[in-house]
Amino acid sequence: MLSTLLLASSPSLNAQAAPPLNYLKFDVDSLLVPASERCRISPREPDLPYALAACEQAASGGDPKAQFLLGNLYYEGVVIPRDTQQAMLWFQRASLQGHAQAQYQIAFMLYRGEGTAPNLVEAYIMMKMSAVNGFDEAISAMDLFAEELSEEQKLQAFYTLSRIFKNYRASLATSPDTQVPLDPADPSGLLDD
């Protein structure tokens, strides 16, 4: 076991015996498992409560993949009881970190009214964000959603998306560590709304 090797190979300043393995309050081997992998849980998991707690800990710690996978566990309802509101909560947390699959899932939940009221405009916007963030399946779904939007809804969606992208670009411009690519239409980067 890695924990035995770590304890046995650690230099001892006072030549004291290593503490017993049960002294550790966590399983050292679990540190080698990426946080998001702790959320890949099957219904036949031998220690389901422990596995769910590990997944929730990873998701609560801010890992977007773990948040998405925990949302999926709640959404599918195979391993744990289906809870679309909890699913939406975890998908939203992952989405705020740019997780494209979470955005895709939110879009369909908004479209169908699962865990929230149906909202075609918000569904379209979220699907567009998923596509922008690289989830290829969102591109064709986005086109299908767009076909159902009225002209007024399209204008509302396009206006909202333009605000999102302008705010994002502004946040990049104000970050000292990030260089924003120049816009060919505005090489100075100074165009206002």
What pLDDT, on the 0 to 100 scale, is given for residue 41? 82
What pLDDT, on the 0 to 100 scale, is given for residue 112? 97
Q: What is the pLDDT of residues 34-86, one digit of tens each?
A: 655 678 888 788 888 888 998 999 999 999 999 999 999 999 999 999 999 99
Pick the residue with more confidence: 76 or 191? 76
Q: What pLDDT band is residue 24 in, cutting at 50, 70 and 90?
A: very low
Q: What is the pLDDT of residues 93-123, one digit of tens each?
A: 999 999 999 999 999 999 999 999 999 999 9
CA angle 157, 161, 167 (to 5 degrees): 150
Tokens of 111: 């479209």
* Three-class SS state of 183: strand
Q: What is the pLDDT of residues 116-165, one digit of tens each?
A: 999 999 999 999 999 999 999 999 999 999 999 999 999 999 999 999 88
What is the spatial distance between Cα 166 and Cα 48, in angstroms, rounded to a whole number? 44
What pLDDT, on the 0 to 100 scale, is given for residue 178? 56
What is the spatial distance between Cα 158 and Cα 78, in angstroms, rounded to a whole number? 37
Pair 127, 107: CB distance under 8 Å: yes
Q: Give domain limits for the chain.
A: 30-97, 98-174
What pLDDT, on the 0 to 100 scale, is given for residue 36? 57
Q: What is the pLDDT of residues 167-179, one digit of tens each?
A: 888 888 887 665 5
Tell me the range of 8-12, 28-32, 123-127, 139-143 where mean pLDDT is highest.
Answer: 123-127
pLDDT at 14 over 90: no
What is the spatial distance between Cα 146 and Cα 141, in angstroms, rounded to a whole number? 9
Q: What is the mean pLDDT of residues 9-33?
A: 42
pLDDT at 26 over 90: no
